[in-house]
Amino acid sequence: MHTDRLFLNNPVLIAGFGLAPIVIAATTLSNALVLALGVLLMLTPTRVLAAAVCSKVPAHLRLLVYALCAGLVYIPTYMIVRGVFGVGIEAVGLYLPLLVVEPIIIKRAERPQPETVMMALRKGLATTAGFLLALFLCAALREYLGLGTLLGHPVAAGAPFPLANYTAGGFILIGLLAAFWRWCQNLFKKYVNLEAKQEL
Amino acid sequence: MTIVKDLLTFFMYAVIAIAAQNAVFTRAFGVSRLIRIVDSGELALSKFTLMLTVVQLLSAPLAFFANRLLSGISLRSALRPLVFVLCSGIAYLIVLLVLGLLSYKTQIKSLKDYVAVLGAATFNCSVIGTLLLTATGGYTLLQTMGFALGTALGYGVALLMVSEGQRKIQNRNVPSTFRGLPITLIYIGIIALAIYGFTGHMPSI
């Protein structure tokens, strides 16, 4: 249960990582696509590269190594994202380069034990999947509520909740979504416990 | 007269960064880290803010001059994050060295606490975000330094406000599903909304 990063231990809605790009930049699904490609190309390669290097690095320098690895991985990532989205990359502004120090990518460096390359690969992919799920969910919800559109196509007569498109609305909406996620999580845990008791 | 004007510019940018353009409430810089710090309740907020301020003030001029060197390179947008991480890495190593020397010479035990928070204070979206913002915004050195100081102090103010809010909202009246991350995010959202009341909406991107 603890290793499930998609639902039960979602890195954004349960652990609270990667909030800055989601709160500010994920206001539409097209912005979310830019961020998603950036995270997809950065998170796992950074973690694998840092895991390969960190086995011989003292603990107090690990964060520096993780951030430098992320900075290195960012160079090809930027070129690919720029190639795919062109000027669309400007829509997420600082929040794409800011991924190099985003806790969702470098937080693992703060644990006392360095991880193996295989574990970094496995957990990197799982964390990426969890982040992308939360990212698209928040972006779709914010685009619908804030603009009344989905991927630019109108789906409502107006904007049902225009504040969703702003920073304050982002915080509030993600807070509400995190509470809903926990409620679902508690329901699921209760169901699993009930099943286990019935089997006994 | 020029000195007074420069001082005014410096303090104006610092005040703007503390209040109207607070790193946490208007740009969400370092919000994940802030929530972890407040939730754990282990870190001393003043020590974290002090380390953040020192690192921010050391890395800001380094990044300013590094950005000037990058200006002629076509790939500067791709290279900037790596270069700025290197700048904050240099600031981190300088502070680590100074703390190590102080610890060796003075035997002050609390210095270990400063070393413990130094990494989190350095490799933080607030530090790199400020460097990126001032570099892409074409700030002068004085404006950069003022904004860097204000951002670090503003982060400290945000830490204080959120931890104080956390203390008051962690009671039995809050439904269990809202306790922790959800209620903290809603609380930050309400403060961000209050800042809109004073400044109006400014695009954060």
A63 touches chain B (CB under 8 A): yes
- ipTM strictly over 0.90? yes
Cβ of A71 within 8 Å of Cβ of B26? The answer is no
B160 touches chain A (CB under 8 A): no
* Closest residue, chain A, to B128 (C-alpha): A98
In SS3 terms, A29-95 reads as HHHHHHHHHHHHHHHHHHHHHHHHHHCCCCHHHHHHHHHHHHHHHHHHHHHHHHHHHHHHHHHHHHH
Cβ of B77 within 8 Å of Cβ of A92? The answer is no
Distance from CA of B4 to the nearest CA of A (A): 33
Q: State the Cα–Cα distance between residues B31 and A103, nearest whole angstrom.
A: 10
- What number of other Cβ atoms are within 10 A of residue B198's Cβ? 8
**What's the token pair of residue B30?**
């370092």
Residues of A in Cβ contact (< 8 Å) with B182? 175-176, 178-179, 182
Tell me the average pLDDT of chain A.
92
Cβ of A176 within 8 Å of Cβ of B86? The answer is no
Backbone phi and psi for residue A155, each to the nearest 5 degrees, phi listed first? -125, -5
Cβ of A93 within 8 Å of Cβ of B205? The answer is yes
pLDDT for A18: 94
What does pTM read for this prediction? 0.92
pLDDT for A45: 96
Distance from CA of A118 to the nearest CA of B (A): 25
A74 touches chain B (CB under 8 A): yes
Q: State the Cα–Cα distance between residues A77 and B18, nearest whole angstrom.
A: 33
> What pLDDT, in 10s, does the model give residues B120-175?
999 989 999 999 999 999 999 999 999 999 999 999 999 999 998 888 877 778 88
pLDDT for B43: 65
